[in-house]
Amino acid sequence: MQNKKWDYTSLARRFSARFPLLSYLGIQINFWILANIFLVSLMHLQALSIQETFKGNELIRFDKVLLLAVVLGLLYGIVLGLTDRYLERFYKQLSLGKIILFKTGVSVSVIIMIVVLLRAFFFGLTISEQSWEYFFYILVIYYLLMTLMLSFINQVNRKYGPGVLVPLLLGKYRSPREEERIFMFMDLQSSTTIAEQLGHLKYSSFIRDSFMDINEVLLPHNAEVYQYVGDEIVVTWRIDEGLKFLSCIRFFFACEYRFFEREQYYMSNYGVLPRFKASLHMGKVTAVEIGEVKRDIAYHGDTLNTAARIQSVCNDYNKRLLISTYMLEAIGANSGIRTETIGMIQLKGKATKVGIASVEGLDA
C-alpha cells in the first residue's frame, strides 16, 4: 500500500496551501532555469559543431554559459512570476487576447532588461553588437514558446490543482484505480427564486462570484474542486487530508464566513447573500482519466451517489450541512463539532437506509 504521507500530490497541495506565493514562484523559477539550461546546452553543442567544422576560435567556457542560464532563469522566473501573481486580478478584467498581448509585452520587456544587465555584469564588451542582437532574437523566440508551455502547466494546476500534472504525465489515471475520498456536494439555496429575481445574466454573474469566493477557501483547507454543475459545486478530499483538523467541515463554515465578509459587495450588486446547503460522505471510489476531445479525471461509485442524495434532503430537515453517520464515526467522538442526529433515512434510489446527522457548528 502506498504511503500517503509521502504522496506527491498531497505534499504539493499542502505546500501550496501554506506558501501560495512561494509555490507559484517555485514553479516559475524551476521551469525557467531548466528551460535555460536546455537552451544553452543546445547552443553550446551547436557552437562546438561549428567550431569543429570551420576551425574557429575557442568558445566561451560552458560553465560560464551554464551560470548565465541559471541566473537568467532565476531573474526571469522571479520578475515574471511576481508580475503575473500581483496582476492576476487585473487579468480577470481582460479578454484572453489582451492577456496574451500584455504578457507578451511584459516578457519582451523583462528579456531586454535582463540581457542588458547580464551583458554589463558577465560579458562586458567582449561580444559584438551583432552577436548580442542575434542572442536577443533567440531568447525572444525561445521564451515565447516556453511561455506557452508554462501557461499549459499553470492551466493544468488551475484545473486539477497543484501536484496533479506529474501523475497525469506518468499515466496514473489512464486505468481505473481505487481511492478513498471525502465528497461534499454544495448547492445554492433558493436558486430558483434568486434566478427569477436577478434574471439570467445577473444570476450567472452571481454564481460566478459565489464560486470564485469558494475557490479562495479551497487551498487553506486542502480541498479540490471535482466539478461544477449549474449552481452546484462538488468538492473532494483525500481521507487523511479531509479529516485532519476537520478540514472538510471547517471548509463549509469558512465559505460562509467568506460570504459574510463580502456581504456589502453582494447586497450592493445583487441584493442577496449566497447561502449554500451541503452534504458530506466518504468511501471508496474509482478514479479514471476519461475523454478524448475534453479530458478529465472522473470519479465513479456509490459514495458520490450517496453524498448527492444526502444533500438533496437538506431542505426536508431545514439543515445547512448534513453528514453521514459513517463519516461521523470516522471523525470520532469529542472532535469539536456540534451535531444533531437525524436518524436512519431512506434516500431516493438507495436500497437500504442511511444514517444522517446535522452539523450545527464548531466548538470555539
What pLDDT was estimated at residue 109?
Answer: 78
All three cell numbers of 164, joined, read 496533479
| pLDDT 10s digits, 4-36 | 444 666 676 666 666 677 777 888 888 888 888
C-alpha dihedral sign at 350, 340, 285, 225: positive
CA-nearest of 357, 355, 353 to 341 is 357
Per-residue pLDDT tens digits for 118-147:
666 655 545 666 776 777 788 778 877 887
pLDDT tens-digit series, residues 144-191: 788 777 777 776 666 666 666 666 666 677 788 899 999 999 999 999
Average pLDDT over residues 241-252: 92
- 283 contacts 326 by C-beta, under 8 angstroms: yes
- Go through 202-233 and write b for each residue having 16 or more CB atoms within 10 A of its CB, e for each that does not: ebeebbebbbebbeebbbebbbbbbeeeebbb
Looking at residue 351, what is its pLDDT?
A: 85
**Beta carbons of 188 and 203 less than 8 angstroms apart:** no
Q: So what's the pLDDT on residue 181? A: 94
Measured over the CA atoms of residue 3, residue 7, residue 13 and residue 15, the dihedral's sign is positive
Whole-number Å distance between alpha carbons of 198 and 144: 43
| pTM, two decimal places | 0.72
* CB proximity list for 356: less than 8 A, separation 6 or greater: 310, 313, 322, 323, 324, 325, 342, 343, 344, 345
The pLDDT of residue 13 is 63
Q: How confident is the model at residue 92 (pLDDT cuts 50, 70, 90)?
A: low
Helix ranges restricted to H, 55-128 = 62-86, 88-91, 96-118
pLDDT at 216 over 50: yes
pLDDT, tens digit (0-9, with 9 covering 90-100), for 57-76: 555 677 777 887 888 788 87
Give tens-digit pLDDT for 279-325: 999 999 998 888 766 667 889 999 999 999 999 999 999 999 999 99
How big is the CA angle at 303 (ends 299 and 308), to the nearest 5 degrees?
95
More confident residue, 121 or 48: 48
Question: Residue 50 pLDDT more than 90?
Answer: no
The pLDDT, as a whole number, for residue 28 is 83
Q: Domains in the chain and their CATH numbers?
A: 4-160 (no CATH), 176-362 (3.30.70.1230)
d(C-alpha 232, C-alpha 235), whole Å: 10
